[in-house]
Amino acid sequence: MKIRQALISLSNKNRAREFAQGLAAYGVRLLSTGGTAKMLRDAGLEVTEVGDYTGFPEMLDGRVKTLHPKVHGGILARRDLPEHLATIEEHGIPAIDLVCVNLYPFRETIAKPDVTLAEAIENIDIGGPAMVRSAAKNYAGVAVVTDPEDYPALLSEMASNGGGLSAATRFALAKKAFVHTARYDAAIANWLTSLDESEQAKPFPERLQLAFDRGETLRYGENPHQQAAFYRDPEPVAGSIANYRQLQGKELSYNNIADADAAWECVKTFDTPACVIVKHANPCGVAISADLLSAYEKAFQTDSTSAFGGIIAFNGTVDADVIVAMNSRKHFVEVLLAPGFTAAARELLSGKQNLRVLELPLAKVYHDFEMKRIGGGLLLQTPDRFNVQASDLRVVSALVPSASQIENLLFAYRVAKFVKSNAIVFCGHGMTLGVGAGQMSRVDSTRIAVSKAQNACLELAGSVVASDAFFPFRDGIDVLAAAGAKAVIQPGGSMRDEEVIAAANEHGLTMVFTGARHFRH
């Protein structure tokens, strides 16, 4: 289908001049509106303004520009129906073969901290979505272009096809256009339904519209009999797992991505060199140190059995020494992820063809919402952004923790935030010593953490312990004290806090409260 007439009306004018020049080179007649027409005319192009084309000027402060039969008739007329073609010819309506439109910047407008409802309303596009939808509906005869990134490829195809675009290209453009308008309307609906009576935006819209792009279809889900796919945010936040670049290895599985996300979210919270090893969504080894090599060695030492087949995340550039250490331990790893890898490290890794190696930017940025699908609905919450600082701690025991104990307590509590509840984490010297996760009772998690440390031949005497939530009874304190721990960090808030504090004093433990719980389900 050869392009003979195009309508160009843009909010985002990036690359528009070059695209219009390319169209004009094929003899395409150009229609345009307002500022877009001026820009094209200033570039030396011959342009007909829509107001002159329809015989009606833009009116109502620009609210009405293209809502006219001569525009929509030219777009919507089916080229395969003689009666449609006869009708537009009777009324003097030339066919419009290409519509290049993008929409008022509504999302950019509402992102302003001081935006008013009136300002947002004026940035709701009406004519633009109508033209885009009309052209997308009639893709059999019209090409609709909404993304400036597509301009070069379309001009290239026109060069190969004598100024025309294929049916396959028009269909692909139509699908993209419907997504464009759907997400535009979703942004409007989400924002408007989040406003309260005083026109102030609240975190949770009354009617939530979601948008994700399918990244890839996965081999299967959590189990081979389940189907699965990975969907990304259209604009993933910086530092999220969706920004990964796979350097080598097999395709990622559903479980690989889920566990890699857990490891990455944990490791990126540390400011010093850190290593996190995750197995089945739980950290089984976490450590910080002066360099990534020693951090890895300490993390691996926590639970070398569980580390087999795990996911390893680093928060710095991985060098050859780290890979040599992994190889020397014959450490089988499913996924290795870091902000970067040296050339020497890449060379060593290339010998492990199945090992999935991911590179992604490091940034402590979070999504607006965390989501969990349940039967018939969706749970939304804001992310757990709270990272306890020394100034947040309240000493509740008779003994006051030392500076080194506080440092290890803060480290332990940060790790506990990423362990499935009920979470108990023993730590010392900047590394995990024993991790108890996901048990129905806190005392069982404590016993498991002790058992893990003993199996790894790690000394718990003098260690510190973090609990993601309060101790409901003193039994957990009795177990960790018997194992040799000397300091405990927990949120507090139990009706038996006094009983638990008394147990800590009885065992000669220091105990601090944070006031912030870190359940993770």
The set of catalytic residues is 137, 280
CA distance 371 to 18: 42
CA distance 433 to 262: 19
CA distance 327 to 45: 64
CA distance 312 to 293: 12
- Answer for the pair 26, 96: CB distance below 8 angstroms, yes or no: no
The gap between the terminal CA atoms of the chain, to the nearest Å, is 55
CA angle 484, 508, 386 (to 5 degrees): 80
Q: Cis omega before residue 190 (within 30°)?
A: no
Q: How far is CA 33 from CA 174, 358, 456, 519, in A?
A: 22, 46, 72, 55
At residue 80, the 3 state secondary structure works out as coil
User: What one-character-per-residue DSSP string does 304-359 give?
Assistant: HHHHTTEEEEESSEE-HHHHHHHHHTT--EEEEEESEE-HHHHHHHTT-TT-EEEE
Q: Any bridge partners for residue 228, and if so which? A: 218
Q: How far is CA 58 from CA 55, 61, 132, 369, 510, in A?
A: 10, 8, 19, 41, 74
Q: Which residues contact 441 (CB under 8 A, 6 or more apart)?
A: 422
Q: Compute how many other C-beta atoms are within 10 angstroms of the C-beta atom of residue 377.
A: 8
Phi-psi region of 52 (alpha: psi -120 to 50; beta: other; left: phi over 0): alpha
CA distance 453 to 463: 11
- Answer for the pair 64, 51: CB distance below 8 angstroms, yes or no: no
CA distance 368 to 200: 17
CA distance 385 to 383: 6
User: Strands 282-288 and 274-279, how do they pair?
Assistant: antiparallel
